[in-house]
Amino acid sequence: MTALELFLYILCGILVQVALFALLAFKRHWQKYDSLKRRSSEIEESEPNAPMPSWEGFRDFRVVRKCFEDSSRSVCSFHLAPVDAKPLAPFLPGQFLTFRLEVNDPSGKGRVNITRCYSLSDRPGLDHYRISVKRLSTPGCPAGLSSNHLHDNIQEGSILSAKAPSGHFHLKPGSSPVVLIAGGIGVTPLLCMLNASLQSGSKREIWLFYGVRNGAEHVMKAHLEELAARHANFRLRVCYSRPNSSDKIGQDFQHQGHVDLTLLRLNLSPKSYDFYVCGPRAMMETLVPSLHEWGVPSHRIHYEAFGPASLTQSANPPVPEQSSVQAISVTFSKSAKTLIWDNGSASLLDFAEKNGIRVDSGCRAGGCGTCQTPIESGEVEYLHTPDFDVEPGCCLLCSSRPSRDLVLSA
């Protein structure tokens, strides 16, 4: 036998062994795949015909409970059960409901229909939905129309119409530590996130920094304190900016002042936290940029400022500057008006209303979709990512501006 023949025999032996090992590895992987497939089939067979319940358009709900959540009685919760007794649609912690309300016209000319969005303030999996609404009594404030109507006119037994839960501001699954930061009534979606996470048995580290003026406005105080006492992975930090004489630091609240970056740095250890922030505009305009400056990656900062439109562009990706040389025309075809875009307008909805063009609107924050309008030609750019999923060929006037000459079916 020559050296070449011996080499070829050895090579063949090695190739046979490699092939056998490959076949054995494939067999093992196939067995695992087949086992997983059979387990999946068994799960599907154990839950036949279990579609995810939801609904199109508006659905009627009965108020089965109405209760106040703070000692000043400025925040009221409404527990809503479906009139048709069918299953509730599941939702992600932090999402909202869109309501159609019939309220008194501020001009005194009868009744008008308005659309408003309210965050779900309790966890999924219950036999009802819950929203918690703060009364807004600022003169001329559009939001006050709905909150005052709910507080004054909606009682247990009343019927409210709502769309299915929606919204992109919600708690992401996982095990990474979470920091919830709330200002005032902005605590509502974060309460939903907190309740859902703790009820699930998750051991992920979760913080709530909650700022209010004083104890009279402290929403669900007993509930939050009970959660903090019962769950070792939940840390509660309450800030009063203007405490009353009866408010005791260390007992009712832990910090006098506002929730700010200094407070966060004093309490949080160096970890990769996911931040969820919801509060009034002044808080958002300082805190969200501060998180960026602290080095928190953008994908770990999630925020909602009572509807994203109320957060100014300093905390949003910058909107490209429009040319000061070439004017942009906006045509409202149904109204037979062609106008030159005014850069001083906050949005296309604002621009339309300034020029006497009537457009149905609701939340004015990109959440409800009431102002969705077909684009006949041209393009728009968004001031922020809308919560409402816009249909192709349309835009939300409340959240967009023209990027070039535009024709709208309005």
Is residue 317 predicted with pLDDT exceeding 80?
no
Q: What dihedral do alpha carbons 302, 306, 312, 313 form, nearest 10°?
A: 40
Selected residue with higher pLDDT from 324 and 42 = 324
Q: How much is the pLDDT for 85?
A: 94
Exposed, middle or buried: residue 171 (CB in 10 Å: 0-12, 13-18, 19+)? buried
pLDDT tens digits, 337-357:
999 999 889 899 999 999 999
Report phi then psi at 86, rounded to 5: -80, 165
The token pair at 82 is 């479906």
Q: How much is the pLDDT for 20?
A: 73
Q: How much is the pLDDT for 360?
A: 84
Q: How much is the pLDDT for 197?
A: 97
The token pair at 16 is 């046979």
The token pair at 221 is 């105080």
Q: How much is the pLDDT for 113?
A: 87
Q: How much is the pLDDT for 308?
A: 45
Selected residue with higher pLDDT from 404 and 315 = 404
Query: With bands split at pLDDT 50, 70 and 90, how would you rate the model's confidence at 377?
Result: very high
What is each CA distance from 16 to 3, 7, 23, 376, in whole angstroms? 20, 14, 11, 67
Q: Are 397 and 359 in contact (CB under 8 A)?
A: yes
Helix (H) or strand (E) holding 243: none
- How many other CB atoms are there within 10 angstroms of residue 233's CB atom? 14
Rounded to an integer, the average pLDDT of 226-237 is 97
Q: How much is the pLDDT for 106?
A: 76
Which residue shows structure tokens 């959540």? 69
Query: With bands split at pLDDT 50, 70 and 90, how would you rate the model's confidence at 45?
Result: very low
Q: How much is the pLDDT for 314?
A: 42
Q: Are 345 and 363 in contact (CB under 8 A)?
A: no
pLDDT tens digits, 249-292:
999 999 999 999 999 999 999 999 999 999 988 899 899 999 99
Q: Are 179 and 274 in contact (CB under 8 A)?
A: yes
Is residue 164 predicted with pLDDT exceeding 70?
yes
Q: Are 53 and 88 in contact (CB under 8 A)?
A: yes
Rounded to an integer, the average pLDDT of 300-325 is 56
Is residue 408 predicted with pLDDT exceeding 60?
yes
Q: How much is the pLDDT for 40?
A: 42
CA torsion sign for 263, 267, 272, 278 is negative
In single-letter form, the type of residue at position 44 comes to E
Rounded to an integer, the average pLDDT of 280-309 is 86
Is residue 18 predicted with pLDDT exceeding 90?
no
From start to end of 120-252, where are the E strands?
129-134, 159-162, 178-183, 206-212, 234-240
Q: Are 215 and 71 in contact (CB under 8 A)?
A: yes
Q: How much is the pLDDT for 218?
A: 97
- For 399, residues 6+ apart whose C-beta sits below 8 A from its C-beta are 308, 309, 347, 365, 366, 382, 383, 384, 386
pLDDT tens digits, 186-231:
999 999 999 999 999 999 999 999 999 999 999 999 999 999 999 9
Query: With bands split at pLDDT 50, 70 and 90, how would you rate the model's confidence at 312?
Result: very low
Q: How much is the pLDDT for 309?
A: 43
Q: Are 179 and 197 in contact (CB under 8 A)?
A: no
150, 96, 147, 148: which is closest to 118 by C-alpha? 96
pLDDT tens digits, 47-91:
334 345 578 899 999 999 999 999 999 999 999 999 999 999 999
Q: Are 63 and 158 in contact (CB under 8 A)?
A: yes
Selected residue with higher pLDDT from 51 and 173 = 173
Pairing between strand 234-240 and 206-212? parallel
What single-letter DSSP state applies at residue 177? -
Which residues in 55-92 are b (16+ Cβ under 10 Å) and which e? eeeebebebeebeebbebebbbbbbbbbeeeeebbebb
- For 59, residues 6+ apart whose C-beta sits below 8 A from its C-beta are 82, 83, 84, 161, 162, 163, 164
d(CA 210, CA 220): 11
